[in-house]
Structure 1
Amino acid sequence: MWALSGPLFQFSDTWQLVINTTTTIITFLMVFLIQNSQNRDSCALHTKIDELIDVVKNADKDFIGIEHMPLEKLQKLKETIEEHAAHKERSGEH
């Protein structure tokens, strides 16, 4: 449509403005749509993981909903878990 309408409007400044504005609006809407889809997927994934944590007998229930934790606390928790996993690996535990 863009290529076909150019010669019709003789590639005028107004035509360029309309095309640029239209593509900007379409791009914004597509970014919004993609972000909305990713947010839904992320929410569904967190809900599924929370359910798995809830039904596993020895799971730490404190992990349910940690995506709402402040970033600093989340990073510290991640480091603690990684250290614990490395210690278990070195000691031969499973």
Structure 2
Amino acid sequence: MSPSHLFNRLAKWASRAAGRPLGFVLALAVVLAWILTGPLFGFSDTWQLVINTGTTIVTFLMVFLIQNSQNRDTEAIQLKLDELIRATRGAHNALLDLEELEERELDAFRARYVALARHARERDDEETDRGTPEVNDLG
């Protein structure tokens, strides 16, 4: 098993576990245990350092897990959107894989769609573009 595959499996498992009620309950239990031990350790600097260090380490690691999950989810959504564009009659296949374009190329596409939307809103007749042709043809 490759390190990348192992990390992906670990990231999926950890993000699912952290996002479940039991993950929250365990984190809450750790904080409560820390609070309850305060008087035992005289609310010392070391006692405070324990929670600060622990939460910093967990936060640092969670950033990577969250980013991995978000990257995976975003990629899946982009692929699904690409398939919808590809499968929709009248859709522009040039819009497939837009997320890979440079910023200036995206700006050019965006400007065209902003102009189309403005033109559609300015039209004052019954032919305004409100809805999809496939749905409007059924009624």
TM-score by length of 1: 0.82
Query: Following the alignment from structure 1 to structure 2, what is the Cα–Cα distance between the partners of residues 69 and 83?
Result: 20
Residue 106 of structure 2 corresponds to 74
Q: Deviations over 1:13-68 (max 9, x none)?
A: 22222221101111222333332222222111111100011111221111111011
The Cα RMSD (Å) is 1.8
2-structure distance, mates of 1:23, 1:8: 21
SS at match of 1:7: coil
Structure 2: 5+ residue runs without aligned partners? 1-32, 130-139
CA distance in 2, matches of 1:27, 1:37: 15
Residues in 2 aligned to 1:89 and 1:23: alpha-carbon distance in whole angstroms: 51
Show the 5 A alignment for 1:1-94: 1-91=33-123, 92-94=127-129
Q: Given residue 83 of structure 1, which amino acid in structure 2 is its aligned partner?
A: A
Identical aligned pairs, as a percentage? 49
CA–CA distance in structure 2, aligned partners of residues 40 and 59 of structure 1: 26
Q: How far apart, in 2, do the equivalents of 1:22 and 1:58 lie? A: 55
Secondary structure of 1:8 counterpart: coil
Unaligned runs of 5+ in 1: none
Q: Distance in 2 between matches of 1:72 and 1:17?
A: 48
C-alpha separation in 2, matches of 1:88 and 1:73: 23
What one-letter code is carried by the residue in structure 2 that aligns with 1:80?
R
CA distance in 2, matches of 1:6, 1:72: 56
2 CA distance for matches of 1:30 and 1:58? 43
